[in-house]
């Protein structure tokens, strides 16, 4: 894994520049690089360098090389559409409140039917502790909010609707899962108690545990003083836990968002996690969900947790604001989710 103290490697493109001036690679990518710098204040050169380094490592594998070259092209070309997508989603939010014609109303009715069917299936996969009608409606509201938050989160629930392999267990009377599971082993491989978790994804049992009681705030004492922790929204934690389960079902790699033998996307995701961690370490302000994911002790736990931040933020803030925050704070993670994870959900 690349680290901050690694030696800088002279890449083939740089050697060519020293010999011949401008290379064909630079000529072909200059326009997309200029556009990237215009829309995002992020240095793409380090990511390009990482992918080129990977290119050298796996030269003996022609198929993977072709995938790598295609990925480099897509990454450079698709950053700009990401901004366009956010703008389009904002406009869509505005227009959704305006009067609709007959065809649009029909489409809305079809969407509502699809939502109700999906939510019905998710409710059939859900067990509610000491259930009653009020709790049933509350949990149903969690799924409805996740479905409505974004096309990405609705796709996630639709995937689970089709697979039907997950079981969700909810305690609406508590904000933690201690009444559902007393002791467990965390993603950091630490033995701990259910009181430590608002939600937990048990990959091996295909179960998601959720404390369904919302919390406005929680006060903590530490050596540095007393502070108030974040507001707890059960539907946000549920979206993140379900996202982790989806990663597990799709990629079969302990919850990581890439297959075990996919060196290309493993290296690419590793680079994204590293850059996001460096942004946090540099003092750049990031959302609490990002901070929580990057505060995990092990690298494996950070990998599994960080990808679930994308649906978490879309549910927490809604499509418009959530997309804007993701574009600002984690543009490459958002692009990875759109370009690599979402297509897998539909395949």
Residue ranges per structural domain of the chain? 99-346
> Is 275 within 8 Å of 329 (Cβ atoms)?
no
Report the distance separating Cα 304 and Cα 320, nearest Å.
25
Q: In angstroms, what CA-CA distances link 279 with 10, 83, 166, 306, 312? A: 25, 20, 34, 14, 20
- pLDDT tens-digit map of 231-282: 899 999 999 999 999 999 999 999 999 999 999 999 999 999 999 999 888 8
The tally of CA atoms less than 13 A away on the side-chain side of residue 140 is 16
86: exposed, middle or buried (C-beta count within 10 Å: 0-12, 13-18, 19+)? Answer: buried
pLDDT value at position 39?
44
Q: From CA 307, how far away is CA 312, in angstroms rounded?
A: 9
- The DSSP symbol for 96 reads T
Contact 162, 140 (CB under 8 A): no
Q: How far is CA 98 from CA 101, 108, 148, in A?
A: 10, 13, 18
Give every CB contact of residue 271 below 8 A, 6+ residues apart in sequence.
Answer: 2, 46, 47, 50
Tens digits of residue pLDDT in 144-157: 999 999 999 999 99
| pTM of structure | 0.70
pLDDT in tens, 69-124: 566 555 545 545 555 555 555 555 555 555 455 555 688 889 999 999 999 999 99
Residue 297: φ, ψ to 5°: -70, -50
Say how far apart CA 280 and CA 75 lie, in whole Å.
23
Domain covering 99-346 in this structure, CATH number: 3.40.390
């Amino acid at each position: 894994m690349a680290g901050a103290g690694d030696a800088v490697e002279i890449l083939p493109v740089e050697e060519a520049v020293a010999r011949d001036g401008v290379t064909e690679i630079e000529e072909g990518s200059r326009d997309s690089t200029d556009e990237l710098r215009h829309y995002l204040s992020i240095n793409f050169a380090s990511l390009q360098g990482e992918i080129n380094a990977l290119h050298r490592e796996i030269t003996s594998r022609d198929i993977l090389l072709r995938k790598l070259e295609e990925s480099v092209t897509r990454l450079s070309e698709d950053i700009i559409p990401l901004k366009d997508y956010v703008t389009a989603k904002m406009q869509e939010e505005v227009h959704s409140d305006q009067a609709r014609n007959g065809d649009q109303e029909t489409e809305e009715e079809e969407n509502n039917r699809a939502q109700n069917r999906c939510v019905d299936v998710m409710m059939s996969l859900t067990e509610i502790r000491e259930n009653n009608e009020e709790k049933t409606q509350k949990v149903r509201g969690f799924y409805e909010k996740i479905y409505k938050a974004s096309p990405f989160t609705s796709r996630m629930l639709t995937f689970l609707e089709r697979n039907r392999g997950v079981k969700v267990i909810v305690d609406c009377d508590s904000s933690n899962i201690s009444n559902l599971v007393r002791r467990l082993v965390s993603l950091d491989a630490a033995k701990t108690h259910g009181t430590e978790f608002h939600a937990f994804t048990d990959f091996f049992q295909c179960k998601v545990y959720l404390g369904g009681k919302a919390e406005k705030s929680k006060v903590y004492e530490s050596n540095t003083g007393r502070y108030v922790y974040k507001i707890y929204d059960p539907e946000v934690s549920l979206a993140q836990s379900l996202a982790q389960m989806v990663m597990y079902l799709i990629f079969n790699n302990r919850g990581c968002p890439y297959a075990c033998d996919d060196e290309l996307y493993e290296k690419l995701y590793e680079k994204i996690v590293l850059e996001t961690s460096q942004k946090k370490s540099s003092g750049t302000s990031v959302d609490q969900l990002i901070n929580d994911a990057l505060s995990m002790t092990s690298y494996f736990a950070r990998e599994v947790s960080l990808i679930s931040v994308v649906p978490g933020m879309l549910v927490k803030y809604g499509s418009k604001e959530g997309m804007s925050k993701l574009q600002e704070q984690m543009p490459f993670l958002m692009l990875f989710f759109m370009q690599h994870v979402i297509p897998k959900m539909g395949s």
